[in-house]
C-alpha cells in the first residue's frame, strides 16, 4: 500500500533536483510553462527509481532549443517533427516535448502531429492514466485530469479516453499495457483487456521494429510472465509471435501437470531467478538473450509432436526444429544478427545436457559441450538449469547435482587447458606448410580433424599433432 505522504515527498525531491530546478527557472524566465510528466512522476509516486526526466512545455521545438542551449553540454533532435528535443544538463539526459494534440488516421502507423496549447489537453492524449500525471513547475502543482493517482493506488491500468479510442489512435498502446503490467505488477482494467482482444487486428499496422522494442522492454522487466500472459490471452501474441500461443495446444511429453506453454513461462521465471543468483555485477543487468531463449526454447514441440504406441507423445528433434523457427521469427521481428544467432544456438543446445545424467561424459564430451556453446556458455548454464520444472523433488535434485558436477568439470578442464579458447594444436599456415598445400577444402578438413583430436585427447605437442596430421593425410578415411 502506497503512503501518499512519502510518495509526494519523493516527487518533491525529484522536482528539487539541480537539473529540474535549472530547467524550471529557465522556462519560467522565458515565459513558458514547463512540467515534469509521465514516467518520472509515476515512478516517484510509486517509490521506484527515477531514471529518466521527461518534460512537456508550451514552448515550440525552436523555443526549447533557444531556452535550453545555454544550460546544456549537448543538444540534439530525437524527433523535432514530433516536438521532442533532448539535452544533456549537468550529468543527466532530459527530453522536452511541446504540448501535443495529435490525430491519427485509421490506417496510418504514425500520428498527424498537431501541437497543443494546454497541459491538460496534452495529458488526455496519453496512453494510460498513471502516465497522464504531471508536476507543473516551478510551483510543484500535481496535475491529474484522468485520476491517475487513484488508479496508481489501486494498481490498475486504465486509459484517459475510452480504450477503443486510445488503441485506435495508437495500437502499440495495447503492447504497452502488457509491458506496464509486467514492469509495475499492475492489473489491467477489464474494459482495457476486452478492448485489446477486440482490437488485436489493429496491431497489423505497427512496424515490426516497434513491436520488437516493446517485447524487449516487457521481457527485461522483473515479472514478464504477467505481460506475456496478457498478450497470449488477448490474442495479440498471435499477430507477431504465433509460436507462443501454439504451445497452449501441446501437451508435454510426460502428460504431467502443465502444458508446454505453462512450462515455458515457468522456465522464464526460473531463468530470471538464476540471472539474479549468478550475477557478479554490482548493478544487475537483465539478459535479453537468456529470456528470449527461455520463452522460446520449446517452440519446436508443436510441429514435431508424434503419438507413439502406448499413448506416448514424443517431440523428437524439437530442439533443432525450434532453433530454425527461432531464426525465422526473430528475423521477421527485425532482431539483430547477434541476438538471433545466440538465441537459436541456445535453443538448439538446450537438451544436450540431459544425456549427462544417463552416463557420465568423457572429457572429450565436456570439451565439445563447451566448444558448441562458445560465447554463450553461461547463458546455456542458466537455460538448462531453468528447464528443470519437475515436481519430483528427487529427480530435480538429481539433475541439479549432475549439472553442478558438469560445471565443476568444465571449470577444472578450463584451468588445465584454457578450454574456453580450444583450438587445434596446428593452425592453418602450419597445416599448409606440413602438407605442402594451397588454401582449399582439404586444409579445412585437416583443421577439423585436428580439432576433433584436441577435443578427444586434450592438448598435443606440435610433434604429436604433426605425426597425427601426416597419418590422417596418407589415409584420411
For residue 434, the tally of other CB atoms under 10 A from its CB is 16
Q: Which residue has the cell 556458455?
A: 377
| Domain residue extents for the chain | 4-148, 155-240, 259-421, 428-474
> pLDDT per residue over 405-441, tens digit each?
999 998 888 776 655 556 788 888 999 999 988 888 8
Query: Which band of pLDDT confidence, cut at 50, 70 and 90, is reported for residue 364?
Result: confident
Torsion of Cα atoms, 34 then 35 then 40 then 45, to 10°:
150
CATH 3.90.1150.10 describes domain 155-240: no
Alpha-carbon distance 51 to 443, whole Å? Answer: 54
Compute the Cα dihedral for 169, 175, 179, 181 and give only its sign. positive
Q: What is the pLDDT of residue 3?
A: 80
Residue 37 DSSP label = E
Q: What is residue 104's predicted lDDT score, i.e. its pLDDT?
A: 57
- On the question of pLDDT at 477 being above 80, the answer is no
Specify whether the CB–CB gap between 166 and 174 falls below 8 A: no
| Cα 198 to Cα 194: distance, rounded to the nearest angstrom | 6
- C-alpha 373/C-alpha 378 separation (Å) is 9
Which pLDDT band, with edges at 50, 70 and 90, does 476 fall under? Answer: low
**Residue 338 or 108, more confident:** 338
Sheet holding 134-137, edge to edge: 74-79, 84-89, 92-98, 53-57, 34-37, 134-137, 141-143
* Four-way CATH pick for 259-421: 1.10.3210, 1.25.40, 1.10.150, 1.10.10: 1.10.3210
Q: Where are the alpha helices (DSSP H) in 241-376?
A: 243-246, 260-278, 288-296, 301-304, 318-332, 337-349, 363-373
Q: Is the pLDDT of residue 253 over 80?
A: no
Average pLDDT over residues 49-60: 94
Q: What is the SS3 assignment for 316?
A: coil
> Is the pLDDT reported for residue 86 higher than 70?
yes
Of 25-34, 145-154, 463-472, least confident by mean pLDDT is 463-472
Tell me: pLDDT of 450 over 60.
yes
User: Given 3-state DSSP classes, what are the helix, strand and coil percentages for the chain, each rounded to the nearest 5?
Assistant: 60, 10, 30
- Residue 357 pLDDT > 80, yes or no? no
Q: Could you tell me the three cell numbers for 84? A: 521532442
Q: Angle at the Cα of 64 (from 59 to 66), degrees rounded to 5? A: 120
- Residue-wise DSSP of 94-138: EEEEE-B--EE-TT-SSEE--B-S-HHHHHHTSS-GGGS-EEEET
Q: Are 301 and 258 in contact (CB under 8 A)?
A: no
Rounded CA-CA distance 356/365 in Å is 9
- H helix runs in 158-256, sequence order: 163-169, 172-184, 190-198, 208-219, 224-234, 237-240, 243-246
Q: 100-114, 159-173, 459-473: which has the minimum mean pLDDT? A: 100-114
Segment holding 74, helix H or strand E? strand 74-79
**What is the model's pLDDT at position 367?**
87
Q: What is the pLDDT of residue 256?
A: 47
**pLDDT at 252 exceeding the cut of 80:** no
Peptide bond into 248 cis (omega under 30): no
Is 0.75 topped by the overall pTM?
yes
What is the dotted CATH code of the domain comprising 4-148? 3.30.460.10
Position 108 scores a pLDDT of: 57
More confident residue, 445 or 326: 326
Q: Please give the average per-residue pLDDT across 230-237, as a whole number.
A: 97
Q: Please write the tens of the pLDDT for every residue from 385-407.
A: 999 998 889 989 988 988 999 99
Q: How many CB atoms lie within 10 A of CB 226?
A: 22
The per-residue pLDDT for range 87-98, each reduced to its tens digit, is 999 989 999 999
Please, are residues 345 and 320 in contact by the beta-carbon 8 Å criterion? Answer: no
Give the H or E element holding residue 404: helix 393-417
Give the CA dihedral 81, 117, 180, 232, nearest 10 degrees. Answer: -70
Residue 161 has phi, psi (to 5 degrees) of -100, -170
Q: Is the pLDDT confidence value at 257 over 50?
A: no
Amino acid at each position: 500500500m502506497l503512503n501518499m505522504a512519502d510518495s509526494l515527498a519523493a516527487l518533491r525531491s525529484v522536482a528539487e533536483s539541480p537539473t529540474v530546478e535549472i530547467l524550471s527557472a529557465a522556462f519560467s524566465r522565458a515565459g513558458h510553462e514547463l512540467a515534469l510528466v509521465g514516467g518520472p512522476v509515476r515512478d516517484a509516486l510509486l517509490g521506484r527509481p527515477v531514471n529518466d526526466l521527461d518534460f512537456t512545455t508550451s514552448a515550440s521545438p525552436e523555443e526549447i532549443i533557444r531556452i535550453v542551449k545555454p544550460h546544456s553540454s549537448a543538444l540534439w533532435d530525437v524527433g523535432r517533427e514530433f516536438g521532442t528535443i533532448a539535452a544533456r544538463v549537468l550529468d543527466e539526459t532530459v527530453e522536452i516535448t511541446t504540448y501535443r494534440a495529435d490525430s491519427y488516421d485509421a490506417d496510418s502507423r504514425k500520428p498527424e502531429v498537431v501541437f497543443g496549447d494546454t497541459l491538460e489537453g496534452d495529458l488526455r492524449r496519453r496512453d494510460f492514466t498513471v502516465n497522464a500525471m504531471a508536476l507543473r513547475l516551478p510551483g510543484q502543482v500535481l496535475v491529474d485530469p484522468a485520476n491517475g493517482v487513484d488508479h496508481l493506488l489501486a494498481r490498475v491500468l486504465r486509459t484517459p479516453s475510452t480504450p477503443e479510442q486510445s488503441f485506435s489512435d495508437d495500437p502499440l498502446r495495447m503492447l504497452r499495457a502488457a509491458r506496464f503490467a509486467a514492469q509495475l505488477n499492475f492489473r489491467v482494467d477489464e474494459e482495457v483487456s476486452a478492448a485489446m482482444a477486440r482490437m488485436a487486428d489493429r496491431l497489423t499496422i505497427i512496424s515490426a521494429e516497434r513491436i520488437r522494442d516493446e517485447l524487449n522492454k516487457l521481457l527485461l522487466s522483473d515479472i514478464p510472465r504477467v505481460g506475456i500472459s496478457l498478450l497470449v490471452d488477448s490474442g495479440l501474441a498471435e499477430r507477431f509471435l504465433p509460436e507462443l500461443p501454439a504451445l497452449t495446444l501441446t501437451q508435454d511429453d510426460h502428460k504431467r501437470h502443465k502444458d508446454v506453454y505453462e512450462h515455458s513461462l515457468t522456465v522464464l521465471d526460473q531463468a530470471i531467478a538464476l540471472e539474479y543468483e549468478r550475477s557478479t555485477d554490482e548493478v544487475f543487468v537483465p539478459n535479453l538473450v537468456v529470456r528470449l531463449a527461455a520463452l522460446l526454447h520449446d517452440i519446436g514441440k508443436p510441429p514435431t509432436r508424434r503419438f507413439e504406441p502406448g499413448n506416448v507423445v514424443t517431440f523428437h528433434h524439437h530442439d533443432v526444429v525450434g532453433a530454425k523457427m527461432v531464426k525465422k521469427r526473430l528475423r521477421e521481428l527485425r532482431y539483430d544478427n547477434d541476438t538471433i544467432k545466440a538465441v537459436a544456438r541456445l535453443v538448439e543446445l538446450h537438451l544436450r545436457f540431459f544425456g549427462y545424467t544417463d552416463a557420465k561424459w568423457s572429457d572429450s564430451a565436456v570439451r565439445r559441450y563447451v566448444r558448441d556453446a562458445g560465447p554463450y556458455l553461461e547463458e546455456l548454464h542458466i537455460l538448462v538449469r531453468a528447464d528443470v520444472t519437475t515436481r519430483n523433488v528427487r529427480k530435480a535434485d538429481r539433475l541439479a547435482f549432475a549439472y553442478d558436477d558438469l560445471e565443476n568439470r568444465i571449470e577444472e578442464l578450463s584451468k588445465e587447458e584454457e578450454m574456453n579458447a580450444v583450438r587445434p594444436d596446428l593452425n592453418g599456415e602450419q597445416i599448409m606448410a606440413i602438407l605442402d598445400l594451397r588454401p582449399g577444402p582439404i586444409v579445412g578438413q585437416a583443421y577439423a580433424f585436428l580439432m576433433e583430436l584436441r577435443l578427444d585427447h586434450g592438448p598435443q605437442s606440435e610433434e604429436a599433432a604433426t605425426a597425427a596430421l601426416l597419418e590422417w593425410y596418407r589415409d584420411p578415411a
